[in-house]
Structure 1
C-alpha cells in the first residue's frame, strides 16, 4: 500500500478533521438545541399522489390517510406493525350483548391542536356532524366511509343512499361516549379505527359548518376548509402548517402538547412525486428521506446501495372491476368468464409485483379469516375465452378500459404497465379495448365509483382484519361501480355482517367467496407485499400491513 509523505499526511488529516466538522455541522441540523438527539427535521417523504383533502372524514384513499393519520386520531388504533386493535383516544371500549351500543372510555388530558379538550361530548359532536351531513356531502365521493360503515344520514336526499344504521351518541360523563347503532355489524368495532372517523375539535367543527362543498356526479368541489391549513384541528403528534400546491408539499409541525410520546422530528414534509422512478432518484440524491411503493425491480439495487427497504405483510388485493350497467354484454356471465380466462395473471405477478406476490383466487387475500379453498378458479385459457365470447354472441366486444395515472398503489405498483399487459391479453382473444387514462385523485376514483368505465383497475388494502372489510366494501348492496342487482348476494352479505358468532361468520364468509367467484362480478388479480424505502441515516417507523405507518416514530441516526 502506498504511504503518504509527512506533509501530504498532515494535509489529509486536516481534511479529515474538516470533513468531520462539516458532517458534525450537518448532523446538528438534525438535532435539537439541547443535544437530546431529537431530530429537528425536516423529514421529507415522497408520496405517490396528492391527498384529496385535509379532513380525513372526506377521504377514501391511502394518500389522503397517510397525511391525516399523523394529525388526527381515532377512538381505536392498531398495534404498530400488526392488525390487532389497541387503545387510541379511547383507553377502553365495550359493547352490549346485542352489539348495538358501543361505550368508549376516553383518555384524560387530551388536547386538540387549537387548545380544545377532548370529552365525550366532543366525540358526539363529531358523529352528529357526519350523521347530519346534507347536500353534496351525501355524495359518496365525500362520505364514502360513513355510508359504508354507518349507512345514510338523518335525512337521506337520494334513493341510492342506504338507510342509516347510526342512531345516536350520548356522553354520560366527561370521559365517556356511547354510540348506538340500529343493527350489529361486522364493521364494529373495526370501523371505529378508520381514519375517516378521526376526531376534530369543536372549534374546527363550527368553522367547517360555514363552508360547504358543491357540485354533483363527477364534478365535486371539496369545501375550501379541507384544501388549506388553518381550520382542521386534531389531537395527533403533528399539526398541519401549510399545503403548498405549487410544489406539491404538505408541511406538518410537531405538536408539543401531544398527550403521548413526542414526535421524533420537528417537521414532517410530504412531497408529491407521482412517478416511481422520480421518487427513487430523489431518495438516491438525498432530496427526500423515504418513499412508498418501491418498484420490485428497484429493491435489490436500493438495498445494495445501503438504503433500508422493509417489506409489509400481505393485506391487499388488486382486481379488474367490471361495470355491468350500461354495457349489456358485460351482464352476461359467459362474457365475464371469458374476460377472466383471457387474463394472464401469473404474468402480472411474475413481472410487475415484488417477491411474495400471488395470483388471487377470490376477493380477499389468504391472510384473512373467511378465505376459501373451494372457489371456482379461472386459469389463463385464451381458447376457452374465445369460445365463451362466441357462445355469448360477443365476438366483436368493445370495452372502455380505465386505468389511473400519476399514482402507484400498494396493490398496483405500475398501473400503466399492468394495464398494457392486461389490454394485450384481452385483445389477443378478440376484444377491442378503448383506453381511458385518468388522474388518480379525484378523476379516477370518482369515475370508477360512478360507474363510468367498462372495466377498470382498482384494489384495496384492508382497514382492519375482517373479511367484511373487503367483501362488504364492494358487494353489500347495489353500487354504480359494479352496476349489478343481485339480491341473493346482498342478503348473504347482510346475514354475514350481522352474525354475532365469529366462527359462524367466518364460515359465512367462505360461502360468500365461493358464491362471488361463481357470479364473477370482477376478476381478482393478485395480492402482494408492498415495499417502502428509507435513507440509511433514518430510524424508520414500524411498517404496517395496513399501510398505517406512524411517522412520529421517525428519528435521524
Structure 2
C-alpha cells in the first residue's frame, strides 16, 4: 500500500470514527450521546438500586425521582409541600390520622391503575411484619405509622401512633415514600430493584452496569408530558472527566462539580449552578468522656477556630458560614442563634478557666476522602483546624481513615474529637436536630453521645406539635441550646453544584439533592 493510499485510508477511518462516536459507537459511551432528542446527565456512579424501599443513596434518589412519584412532593427551590399523587389531605383533630384524596386516572408504567390499594401496598411492605433488614429508610420514613386503611378506591387513611409533624415531609422523600406498582413488584420479586415501575414522567428502559441507565418519556403520563423524549444517566467517576465531557458536548448536564473546575467551565460557556446545600459540616466532641465532657473546654476550642477563614480560603467561598445546625431555608431556622465567635485571646482565657492554662493535647479522627458537605476532604479540614488550635497552645493529633473504615472508628468512639457531617433527608428541622437527641446515641446518629434532658424534651415537643409557628419557637430554643452546649463546632454549609451546556433550559437543583428532568429542554445548537 502506498503512503498516499494509506493516508487516504487513515482519513476515512478517522472520519468514520467520528461518525460512530456521534451515533454512540463504542461500549463505554451512551448510544445516544449528543443526539438532539436525548438529554445526557453525568453523575459519579451507578445507583445502588432503583427500588425506593431498598436504597439510601443520592445517586439512586436522583434517578428514581424521574421514575416514581409520591403522594406529595416538595415545591421547586424549597421544602414546602404540594400535591402530587394525592390531590389533597386532611389531618384529624388529634393529629393521629392523615387522610389523602388520590388523583384519579393515573396509570403505572406497566399499564396497571394507581389507587388506594397501591398506596397501602407500597407502605405496608415496609412496615412490620413485612419490613426487611435491608430496607434502610423504612423505620425513619414511616416512624410511628400504625396502620394504612383503604377508605375507597381513591381515598387512603394513614393512622399514626401519635401526632408527627415531620410525617408529611417524609412522604415527599425520594427514598421509601414513592408509590410502586404492586403487580410489578410481585412479577419481578427481588429483581424489581433493577426493573422499576412507577407513575413518573419517565419509564425505565435498561441499565448497563457501570455505564448508563436509559429512560424514555411515559406516553400515558397523567401530567404535563416531558420536554425531552429520552434521558440517559451516564456514570463517570472522576469529576474532571465529567467536566471535560460537558465542555466537548458528550454530555448535557453534570453534577459533582469540583471547585477547581468552575472557572474553566464558565470560561467555556458552561452554566455552573450553585445551590444552598441541605447539609452541615462540623467538628464534633465526644462529650461523654474526658477531656470534652468539660463545657468550658469545648467553648475554648470553638472560639479558637477561624470558621470564616475556612469558608473563604479552604472552600474558596463555595460554602456558607453557619450560625445554626439548620440551613437557613429549613422551616424553623433561627437567625438569632449566635455561635461562639472567633477570638484567640478569649479562647485562651476560656482554656485557663477549663483548667488548662498551659494548653493540652488531644486526638481527633477524620476521613481521607471528600464528602458532599466537605468537598476538600477531612484531612485538609483537620490540618486547617490543627493550625488554628496551635495558636492557643493546643496540640491536635490527627488520625485519618478511608470513609468506610472511618465510620466504624467514629461509632466506636476512637480519640477525643472527630470531623463529620450530615445531609438532610426531608427538609424538616427535626431531621437535623435529632442528631443531638439522647435516643439517637444507641443508633449511632448522635456521634458525640451528647445528652441533655432539656434538648430531648424540646425535640419531642417539636415533633408532636403541628402548629408551624409553635414549632418554630420550639426549634429556635433547641438551636440556641445546641450552640451554647457546643457538642459541635459548626464549620460550613456546603453548596450543591451542577453544570450544564448553554443550550440546556429549565434545569435546577433542589435543596434535598434531587432534580426533575421532565421540565428540562435542549435547544438546537
Report the Cα distance in structure 2 between the residues aligned to 1:448 and 1:48, rounded to whole angstroms: 26
Alignment match, 2:13? none
1:398-457 deviations in whole A, cap 9, x for unaligned? 232235x3x652x43333544543454456630111011226xxx777876787785132
1:321-362 deviations in whole A, cap 9, x for unaligned? 44556x644444344334433433212211244657431121
Find out whether 1:537 has 2:503 as its counterpart.
Answer: yes
Q: How is 1:405-484 mapped onto 2 (pairs within 5 angstroms)?
A: 405=369, 408-409=371-372, 411-416=373-378, 417-422=380-385, 424-425=387-388, 429-438=394-403, 454-461=417-424, 463-464=426-427, 466-472=428-434, 475=437, 477-479=439-441, 480-481=444-445, 482=447, 483-484=449-450
Report the Cα distance in structure 1 between the residues aligned to 2:251 and 2:406, rounded to whole angstroms: 27
Change in Cα spacing, 1:296 to 1:167, as seen in structure 2 (3 Å) is same
Change in Cα spacing, 1:335 to 1:117, as seen in structure 2 (3 Å) is farther
Report the Cα distance in structure 1 between the residues aligned to 2:411 and 2:108, rounded to whole angstroms: 34
Which of 287, 293, 315 is matched with 2:250 structurally?
Answer: 287
Alignment match, 1:277? 240
Change in Cα spacing, 1:250 to 1:167, as seen in structure 2 (3 Å) is same
Deviation at 1:511, TM superposition (A): 0.6
Asked whether the 8 Å contact 1:361–1:525 carries over to 2, the reply is no
**Runs (5+) with no aligned partner, structure 1:** 1-21, 28-37, 152-164, 212-223
Which of 102, 105, 109 is matched with 2:101 structurally?
Answer: 105
Give TM-score scaled by structure 1 length. Answer: 0.77
Which of 227, 238, 250 is matched with 2:202 structurally?
Answer: 238
Asked whether the 8 Å contact 1:314–1:367 carries over to 2, the reply is no
Change in Cα spacing, 1:242 to 1:446, as seen in structure 2 (3 Å) is farther
Deviation at 1:547, TM superposition (A): 3.2
The alignment partner of 1:112 has SS state of coil
Deviation at 1:180, TM superposition (A): 1.0
Alignment match, 2:514? 548
Deviation at 1:520, TM superposition (A): 2.0
Change in Cα spacing, 1:149 to 1:119, as seen in structure 2 (3 Å) is same
Alignment match, 2:455? 489
Asked whether the 8 Å contact 2:438–2:452 carries over to 1, the reply is no
Deviation at 1:89, TM superposition (A): 0.9
Find out whether 1:148 has 2:144 as its counterpart.
Answer: no
Asked whether the 8 Å contact 2:181–2:198 carries over to 1, the reply is yes
Report the Cα distance in structure 2 between the residues aligned to 1:59 and 1:225, rounded to whole angstroms: 12
Alignment match, 2:179? 199
Which of 51, 73, 94 is matched with 2:47 structurally?
Answer: 51
Deviation at 1:187, TM superposition (A): 0.2
Report the Cα distance in structure 2 between the residues aligned to 1:555 and 1:376, rounded to whole angstroms: 44
**Runs (5+) with no aligned partner, structure 2:** 1-17, 24-34
Q: How is 1:44-83 mapped onto 2 (pairs within 5 angstroms)?
A: 44-83=40-79
Which of 309, 312, 333 is matched with 2:272 structurally?
Answer: 309
CA RMSD of aligned residues (A): 3.5
The alignment partner of 1:268 has SS state of strand
Asked whether the 8 Å contact 1:323–1:451 carries over to 2, the reply is yes
The alignment partner of 1:203 has SS state of helix
Change in Cα spacing, 1:270 to 1:113, as seen in structure 2 (3 Å) is same
Report the Cα distance in structure 2 between the residues aligned to 1:273 and 1:538, rounded to whole angstroms: 20
Which of 159, 162, 165 is matched with 1:180 structurally?
Answer: 159
Alignment match, 2:365? 400
Aligned length: 485
Change in Cα spacing, 1:449 to 1:49, as seen in structure 2 (3 Å) is farther
Alignment match, 1:94? 90
Asked whether the 8 Å contact 1:47–1:63 carries over to 2, the reply is yes
Asked whether the 8 Å contact 1:318–1:526 carries over to 2, the reply is yes
Asked whether the 8 Å contact 1:354–1:528 carries over to 2, the reply is no
Deviation at 1:389, TM superposition (A): 6.2
Deviation at 1:61, TM superposition (A): 3.6
Q: How is 1:520-531 mapped onto 2 (pairs within 5 angstroms)?
A: 520-531=486-497
Alignment match, 2:169? 190
Q: How is 1:276-425 mapped onto 2 (pairs within 5 angstroms)?
A: 276-313=239-276, 315-324=278-287, 328-353=290-315, 355=317, 357-381=319-343, 391=354, 395-403=360-368, 405=369, 408-409=371-372, 411-416=373-378, 417-422=380-385, 424-425=387-388
